[in-house]
A and B are shown apart, each in its own frame.
Chain A
Amino acid sequence: MKDIAIVAYQQSDSVSDAGAVNEVELIMPVLARTFEQAGLNSAQDVDFVCSGSCDYLQGAAFAFVSGVDALGAVPPIKESHVEMDAAWALYESMLKIRMGHADSALIYGFGKSSPGDLPTVLSQQLDPYYLAPLWVDSISLAALQARLMLDKGLITERDMAEVVSRSRRNAMNNPHAQLSGDISVEDVLAEETFLSPLRKADCSPISDGASAMIIATVDQAKAWGLPYVVISGIDHCIETHNLGMRDLTDSVSTRMAANHAGMNAGKVDVAELYAPFSHQELILTRALGLDKETQVNPSGGVLAGNLMMASGLSRIGEVFNRIVKGEAQRGIAHATSGPCLQHNLVTVLEKGENA
């Protein structure tokens, strides 16, 4: 089986409102920088392209097709799309390479959430008979989950505030962050509740932006002469759509995916976790059994900027960056989708030659 590696990763700034900039214009500069990083000219230089986005954000069926305009798809390219975070576009691209149909792939994800009311838009991904007609939004569902944890004594509001404080402080070193700053636990706790028990600071911001990545077989990466980081494992698992049937205080599917991806085969220096709400980082850290040896969300995580359909790919890209910079040898990245961490993907990354 061919080993697959990441050779390039770029993301846009995470902004609260990109204004008149459309999706294609959000993607194009990110793609240009990604090609430049890999020493390539265009999508013609990779064997496969896969994107992740959500038509509900644009409010039109097949809206994702316009994203292809950012690629210049003439002469024809081999292209696919997932109506999911681009971390799952990476998964599809890896299958394509594993099947021997490609040696390299470009993956990109984009989301412009600012034009709509994102928590309301996300209510429409729920059970169409029992939940979507109630328009129960994503923040309210996360608040139900947080209270279950608080009531059971699994976490305190202070634990949640510590996640927020650390994320905002870490984000001060992230040039793409939307929210960063030297905020103490007391500062967070002094804030009144927004959707009790959650404070606004417990919730990821609503963001516009894009990210992109190029992967290739290790042989291809070597031929290109690029530093690379090997994707040694990847898997995803999903839980039932019935929130009442799930243990919302744990993330069984994350743990399963991590085990399947081989997370425990070595030390984890860094972990980037897609936790849109502070208490969810605590759920994930515990579900994965991460201890003090692992640095969690050095980028600030998605509490510093949450690019719908791109932030899962960005978690993988952030770990790639740490390993290329020599700050870590091995790390994991987590991506999530659905309400209250329903669907989870875990990627294990390891230093390759030249990285």
Chain B
Amino acid sequence: MVSVQFTAHLKRWFPDLVPQEIDAPDVASLVRELEGRFPGLAGYIVDERGSLRQHVNIFVNREMLQDREALGDPLSPGDEVHVFQALSGG
């Protein structure tokens, strides 16, 4: 299982969102699984091509996602994934 934690900003739009435990071989699969659990959530993280939105960051074990286009970064049991918003202007 991979543990997933989210920026608190997402709770505004998904009030029931809490850290998740997910079995997924890569980040793209993880996002698909998240969509199943929280319909609409994937559209906040990725665009309709499945690419990470410009001002969203995903970290795997504190390292920034490498494949922002296809989210192909592999995952292993015990990994920690953080979904954050990037910092941007006012």
A and B, one complex? no
Q: Which residues of B contact A (CB under 8 A)?
A: none
Question: Which residues does A use to contact B, with CB under 8 Å?
Answer: none
